[in-house]
Amino acid sequence: MLVTCTLLKSIKFILEASRVHMENCKPAQHASSCRRQVIFKIEPNMNLTPTAIIAIVGISVFAAISCNNTNQNASQPTAQNSNVPADIFKTLIDSATKARNNAYAPYSKFLVGSAVLAGSGAIYTGCNVENASFGLTNCAERTAIFKAISAGEKRIKAVAVVTDVPELTAPCGACRQVIYEFGRDVDVIMANLKGKQKIEKISKLLPDAFGPGSF
């Protein structure tokens, strides 16, 4: 009974420690501090049975692997076959963040900024523009893309989307379709104001897409 009790208590303690840490740590610091944090958190449990220790070690290893996997996506957001050099990657996020300040979102209050890296190398920005007739609302990504195309661009290389929510915001279905129209290989960069970043190919976000090559 004592063994079961201690075991359950220990597991609960570790899971809580991991969860709190996962929520609080910054992506860039995640891998370096995560394993240490988990180990540190279990130190107060001094009277552990052998069974409990084995369980804790197992859970800690699992937590550490999970943390490292999370960090891999966060600290190395640039895909290996990305179209976006590191300096442009930052410029796109900064441009989208700035454009977000112009968002017209009186109804949802959900401000979105976007920046497009066009085929020429120029960057075009956009924000979401809502309307009292909700269906007429235009997303930030499409605003930026339409600006680029209307300026004479034919292709786009990357689209950045910046919001201020913990979970990164991916383009909606309509925007994915519009992005795909101008390049099957477009990099979609998602970021928030806390520094969390991720990059995916549009072909992954919109698999088996209907596009210009479908006719």
Active site residues: 141
Structure tokens at 42: 């279990």
Nearest approach, Cβ of residue 182 and Zn ion (Å): 14
Q: Which is nearer to Zn ion, 139 or 148 (CB)?
A: 139
**Residues in the chain, total:** 215
DSSP for residue 129: B
Nearest approach, Cβ of residue 168 and Zn ion (Å): 14
| Residue ranges of E strands in the chain | 113-118, 123-127, 156-163, 187-192, 197-201
Q: Which is nearer to Zn ion, 28 or 172 (CB)?
A: 172
- Contact residues: Zn ion, CB under 5 A: 139, 172, 175
**CA nearest to 63, candidates 102, 20, 28:** 20
Nearest approach, Cβ of residue 139 and Zn ion (Å): 3
Of all residues in this chain, which one has the CB nearest to Zn ion in the complex? 139
Distance CA 192, CA 178 (A): 22
Q: Which is nearer to Zn ion, 56 or 205 (CB)?
A: 205
* Contact status, residue 70 vs residue 139, Cβ threshold 8 Å: no
